[in-house]
Each structure stands twice: as C-alpha cells, then as structure tokens.
C-alpha cells in the first residue's frame, strides 16, 4: 500500500495529505532537535538542496519518545532547526513513532521495512526512503549518515 493514503499534520494542526507528494522520492525521518544525531539535519538539507529539483523531498517528523529529546513546541521546531542547521525542508507536528499511539504512517513504514530484530523504531533519525509510487524502498538506521543514503536516492530519481 502506498503512503499516499495517509494524512499528517502541519505544526499548526492543519491536515496535510501525503498525496501532495505523489510522484516524488521521499526521505521520511523521525527527528529530535536535542538528539546527538541532530547534526545529521545539515546533511539531510544538503541532500534536499542537491535533488529537490529532480523531485526529492525530506519530510521531518519530530518525536519526543526517546529520552525527551524533542522538548520544543511544534511551532518552534522548524525555526530552531533552520537557525541551528539551516534546514528548509518541511517539519510536521510531533508524532509517536512506536507503541500503541504510533502514528498510522509510522506503523505502515515499520510494517513495510521492519529493520533488524524487531519492527519498532529504536531511536531518533531512523530514515525511510520512499519511491515515486509511494512504496517503502529502504530503511536506514539512526547511525547512517545522510551522505551514505545519497546513492539510493539517486537510484530512485
């Protein structure tokens, strides 16, 4: 099932259909501004700037489930990340990515690409690469730096 059937929320609370991203290659990332992996936001921005004209988007979903590493309010996250890391790609409303209250999109992503040992997301900056048809192509661990993902993105573009 493609991801286009899901809606997500803007920081303002407005619904955003993922169908708006149809025919694009997407990298969906659960982020946290206070995480040790947050400097990866710079690398994600570089990928975004390099390939956005070819139909590539980075979609950031802040999450506070891992040691409270996203303490900022929804409306503050994008501006803080822009100030600190120069990000211009979209940030959405905070979501749960695991457990009973996990957002349906992340339930779908982990069902499609379960990862090692268990399907659940174990930490911030887990990355899901989505092809132009809205299917999960690959899952990358939090430790995988954005530069290491570039060849997989180019392959889908």
| 14's tokens | 């407005």
Catalytic residue among 3, 28, 35, 156: 35
Distance of CA 38 to the CA centre of its chain: 12
Q: Concatenate the DSSP letters of all residues of 10-43 into one string.
A: -TTS-EEEGGGGTTSEEEEEEE-TTSTTTTHHHH
- Residue 53's Cβ-count burial label (10 Å; 0-12, 13-18, 19+) is exposed
35 catalytic per annotation: yes
Instruction: Find, among 151, 155, 135, the residue nearest to 28 by Cα.
Output: 135
State how beta strands 56-62 and 15-17 pair: unpaired
Q: Which residues are catalytic?
A: 35
């Amino acid at each position: 099932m493609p991801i286009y059937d899901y809606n997500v929320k803007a920081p303002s609370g407005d619904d955003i259909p993922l169908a708006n991203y149809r025919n694009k290659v997407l990298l969906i990332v659960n982020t946290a501004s206070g995480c040790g992996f947050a400097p990866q936001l710079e690398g994600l921005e570089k990928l975004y700037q390099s390939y956005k004209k070819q139909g590539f988007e980075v979609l950031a979903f802040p999450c506070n489930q891992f040691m409270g590493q996203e303490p900022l309010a929804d409306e503050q996250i994008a501006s803080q990340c822009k100030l600190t890391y120069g990000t211009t790609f979209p940030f959405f409303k905070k979501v749960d990515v695991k457990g009973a209250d996990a957002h349906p999109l992340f339930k779908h992503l982990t069902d499609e690409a379960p990862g090692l040992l268990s399907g659940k997301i174990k930490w911030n900056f887990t990355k899901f690469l989505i092809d132009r048809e809205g299917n999960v192509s690959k899952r990358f661990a939090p430790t995988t730096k954005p530069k290491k993902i570039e060849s997989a993105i180019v392959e889908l573009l």
